[in-house]
Amino acid sequence: MPANRNVVIIGSGPAGLTAALYTARANLQPLIIEGIEAGGQLMLTTMVENYPGYRDGIMGPDLMAEMRAQSEKFGATMIHGNVTSVDLCAKPFLVTTSDAEFNAKTIIIATGASARLLGLPSERTLMGRGVSTCATCDGYFFRGQEIAVVGGGDSAMEEAVFLTRFATKVTLVHRRDTLRASKIMQDKARANQKIAWMLDSEVEEINDTGRGEVTSMVVRHNKTAVRTRVPVSGVFVAIGHTPNTSLFRGQLEVDANGYIITHDGSKTSIPGVFACGDVQDHIYRQAVTAAGSGCMAAIDAEHFLENIPEHLATV
């Protein structure tokens, strides 16, 4: 028989762990299934300077360790591993991992979104050491320096323009000669004198893995095959995000880009299933907003459980 739970939280980034803290303090004994990338995107960052309460900043992994310990202190149970399937038609819901099954009266989905990456080994090695996927988080570290943004969509334009507040020069690298971004965003970027353009070009290598910091990138022109070494101290990869929603495909309402649609706080299209953090937010994508929405999901789940139909209350 599957174990019975009031709340199963899927995902352990700031949204999932805040939902865990609040449901634990509401005495609901939540179970958190951490997922393969336990701790979420903050595990890939170094210094976090914009999470309130840490005047001198805190390392991303340390912040996640604090959040985890805080929720465990109040009775949240974490299990390693990944959810392999979810049945949202079953009542109670059925959550299956690689080695266990759980019945859940409510589910909080906090599976996040993954930044798309170029796929270069050096990009992975230097992530958080000059390579970033979040200009809002890391732009401040590049005051007075020359940096690059990769991508041709609205995010790349927005990040490039934003980064000119700090950097002396921002080189925008895009793989085609036309941009995907909306005209208004393109115009704004093109009007900015601090932005240099390398179109029809791809980043082939980011240096210097040996020193553990970004010193330059090698850009290859797609038509001429000419390679150029561009000195930069930061590379912002802005080629889109993928919400981690494949588990719920066909079971929950999602938008055209696959993000879970929420309404009235964290409610999804299925009563008793709540979503928080980047899996339902492609706009703000901040640790603090994810944590805030995790709190909302916990309170929504608590209210749902107070009014749960009699036949489920016995689970």
Helix, strand and coil percent figures for the chain, each rounded to 5: 30, 30, 45
Half-sphere exposure of 237 (CA within 13 A, CB side): 25
Cβ closest to ligand NAP, residue 160 vs residue 239: 239
Q: Which is nearer to ligand NAP, 281 or 302 (CB)?
A: 281
Q: How far is the CB of 249 from ligand NAP (least distance, A)?
A: 19
What is the C-alpha separation between 203 and 42, in angstroms, rounded?
A: 24
Contact of 260 with 109, CB cutoff 8 Å: yes
Nearer to ligand NAP, 201 or 293 (CB): 201
Contact of 233 with 242, CB cutoff 8 Å = no
Given the residues 56, 134, 278, 300, the one annotated as active site: 134
Smallest gap from Cβ 40 to ligand NAP, in A, equals 18
Which residue, 71 or 286, has its beta carbon nearer to ligand NAP?
Answer: 286
Largest CA distance in the chain: 70
- Cβ proximity to ligand NAP: between 4 and 182 the closer is 182
Q: Which of 261, 247, 266 is nearest to 22 (CA)?
A: 266
Total residues belonging to the chain: 315
Q: Which residues pair with 216 in a beta bridge?
A: 207, 231
Please report how close the Cβ of residue 65 comes to ligand NAP at its closest, in angstroms: 29
Residue 16 is which amino acid? G
Set 56, 87, 89, 138: catalytic member: 138
The token pair that represents 287 in the structure block = 């640790």
CB of 14 to ligand NAP, least distance (A): 20
3-state secondary structure of 2: coil
Select which of 137, 154, 278, 281 is catalytic: 137
Closest-approach residue to ligand NAP (CB): 153
Residue 154 CB, nearest distance to ligand NAP (Å)? 4
SS3 state at 169: strand
* Cα gap 263→259, rounded to integer Å: 13
**DSSP secondary-structure letter at 66?**
H
Amino acid at 245: T
Active site residue 276: no
Residue nearer to ligand NAP on the CB measure, 48 or 238? 238
Interacting residues with ligand NAP (CB under 6 A): 116, 118, 151-156, 158, 175-176, 180, 239-240, 282
Q: Is 56 a catalytic residue?
A: no
User: Nearest-5° angle of CA 17, CA 52, CA 243?
Assistant: 45
Task: Report, in Å, the least distance between residue 228 CB and ligand NAP.
Answer: 16
Query: Does the annotation count 278 as an active-site position?
Result: no
Residues involved in catalysis: 134, 137-138
